[in-house]
Structure formats: structure tokens, C-alpha cells
Structure 1
């Protein structure tokens, strides 16, 4: 596998794992409301994921 083929696969893996982590954070926040508001927490981590993907794509 060349680097040009591997990079999109790594980005896809990052997005899928990030989506799972964000979902877990939202679920945990929903089950325990005193921790924080679920949408705010999920939105903040989604922004972190988008920034990480942007860095990977910019470095390409």
C-alpha cells in the first residue's frame, strides 16, 4: 500500500473512532445529567475531531 492510499484510510478510521467516542460521551452525559449538557459536550468533541481531520488533510 502506498502512502496516498493509506492516508484516506487512516482519516476514515479516525473519523469512525472519533464518532464512537463522541457518541459515548453524549450517552454518558445523557445518563448522568449533572456531568454536563450532552449536546454541548458532544459538539465540543466533534469540533476537536474536525480540527484533527483538517490537520491531517492539510499535511497531505
Structure 2
């Protein structure tokens, strides 16, 4: 794997961690938002999982 690919992967991990921390803070401050945020992040992480699977399959070729 090239250095650029590793840097992009690290950047994506940092962004995901920041989004998760932001969502945790919002839910902590506004507990009534937990269900809508949970549904939104569940759909988003599902899409990310599908994309990661496709990228992994392409890189494995």
C-alpha cells in the first residue's frame, strides 16, 4: 500500500472519530435527539461499510 493511501485511510478514521465524538456530545447535551441521530448514523455507517467492502474488493484484485 502506498503512503498516500495510508494517509487517506488515516484521515478517514480521524473524520469518523470526530463525527462520533460530536454525535456523542449532542446526545449528551440533548437526550431527546438520541433516536433521530441514532437512525441517521446507523444509515451512514451502513453506507460506509458497504463502500469499504467495495473498495476492499477492488484493492484485492
* TM-based fold match above 0.5: yes
Which segments of structure 1 move beyond 6 Å, counting only runs of 4 or more? none
Pair 29,19 (structure 1): closer, same or farther in 2 beyond 3 Å: same
Q: Mark the runs of 5 or more structure 1 residues left unpaired by the alignment.
A: none
How many residue pairs get matched? Answer: 55
Tell me if 1:35 matches 2:19.
no
**Offset of 1:47 from its aligned partner?**
4.1
Greater RCO (CA < 8 Å, at least 6 residues apart): 1
TM-score by length of 2: 0.60
